[in-house]
Amino acid sequence: MMNVNFDKIIDRRNTGSLKVDKYKDRDIISMWVADMDFAAPTPVIDAIRDRLEHGILGYSVPTDELNDIVVKRMANLYGWDIDPDWIVWLPSLVVGINVVTHLLARDDEMITFVPAYPPFLISPHIADTKLHTVELAVKDGRYTFDIEAFKNAITDRTRIFILCNPYNPVGRVFDEKELEAITKICLERDILICSDEIHCELILSDKTHIPTATLSQRHLENTITLMSPAKTFNLPGMNTGLAIIADPELRKQYTRKLFICAPPCINALGLVACKAAYSQCEQYKGELVEYLKENAKITYDFVNTQIPHLKMKLPEATYLAWIDVRDLAVDDAEKFFEDAGVGLQGSKGFGVPGFVRLNFGCPRKVLLEALQRMKRAVDSL
Ligand SMILES: Cc1ncc(COP(=O)(O)O)c(C=O)c1O
């Protein structure tokens, strides 16, 4: 029985929502940035309310209890035995990515795949760091790493590989063989791996998420893992996440750089939200994943069978659909669909042309209306 009503349409206007305010006073269904139109789990709301009733909102730090919750979660979900000392709390994973970039010395270089989550591209750019990008390949109808192209793009100065697993925007959950193949090269070439696993609990297929750091002892020592409850429990505005770094010297360097970007305290309500999300919200997660699976399937079927010229692959994870619009005879697909009343994210910021990203983390009625609007617009071309 469903206890959480994901069908409920909640008016997000006048809440300072990045997602909704982009289209203020325009009849555009906003489906761009990765935040969902669902209320956070009740235990999270209750925990925040209780914390507020205390009254004092002083500088806050993670408690041992919270660290233990993370330790247990890693053990339960992935059989990953982490030490609480390995956890570095962050005010957001974007900050966590920026800190990774700042670990580099002058003239060091980074590498990542495209399409890429835009901060993977922006962070090196603003730090004046050379970034090599390699396009994902499509093999047997699914996106995967292009191992040869990756090898060829590495130079003697390449020091960091930023990986997204599960992969925003294409929705892949990489299997052990794929992860082994790509990270083996990093270990051979002494390249640090930053594995952004923020989407790891929203698995919509029968795949299992494998944290990159768990592949071997060498992976553990050579990987910075980024995680957060923000996507799974729809808490992006709570701005709280974490890095897991086993190697003490690497962790020390990371923490020192972090101090330049962020104070040593974390948002008081974010910590409370994280604790409740990670310890009391499994039912919410289970129901959400079922709802998202259905939304993914609806989007996939509709886009591939009802809208001419558009194609997409079924996402294995995330609430994001990566839609191929290369056969659509329009110059700017993002603008075209905005004019049709649907706010999608164009692929330029992801480092490739010819795609749009649709966020299906919304009530089904809203999703269906958006898909109909897209169909009408394409049919009328
Ligand atoms: C891969 C990835 N990393 C990081 C983030 C953002 O994390 P945060 O909100 O904690 O900065 C997102 C949000 O969409 C994401 O998709």
Looking from the CA of 325 toward its CB, the CA atoms found within 13 Å total 28
Q: For the chain, give the longest Cα–Cα distance.
A: 60
Q: Determine the pLDDT at residue 2.
A: 56
CA dist 16 and 27 (Å) reads 17
> Is residue 261 over pLDDT 80?
no
Q: Which of 173, 198, 202 should be mutated for ligand 1, with most atoms under 8 A from CB?
A: 198
User: What pTM, to 2 d.p., does this model score?
Assistant: 0.97
| 334-343 CB burial, b ≥16 within 10 A, e <16 | bebbbebbbb
Local structure of residue 203 (DSSP, 8 states): B
Mean pLDDT over residues 364-376, rounded?
98
Question: Residue 153 has which token pair?
Answer: 């793009």
Question: Is 164 near ligand 1, meaning CB less than 6 Å away?
Answer: yes
> Is residue 1 over pLDDT 90?
no
Residue type, 39: A
The CA–CA distances, whole Å, from 250 to 100, 105, 182, 193, 241 equal: 10, 14, 21, 12, 18
The CA 110 to ligand 1 mean position distance, Å, reads: 19
The CA 200 to ligand 1 mean position distance, Å, reads: 12
Question: Residue 169 has which token pair?
Answer: 């925007």
> Is residue 3 over pLDDT 90?
no
Contacts of 334 (CB under 8 A, 6+ apart): 344, 345, 346, 356
Question: Is 92 near ligand 1, meaning CB less than 6 Å away?
Answer: yes
Q: Which of 101, 117, 238 should be mutated for ligand 1, with most atoms under 8 A from CB?
A: 117
Digit-coded pLDDT (tens) for 189-207? 999 999 999 999 999 999 9
The CA 308 to ligand 1 mean position distance, Å, reads: 32
Local structure of residue 70 (DSSP, 8 states): H
Question: Is 230 near ligand 1, meaning CB less than 6 Å away?
Answer: yes
Place of tokens 């914390």: 51
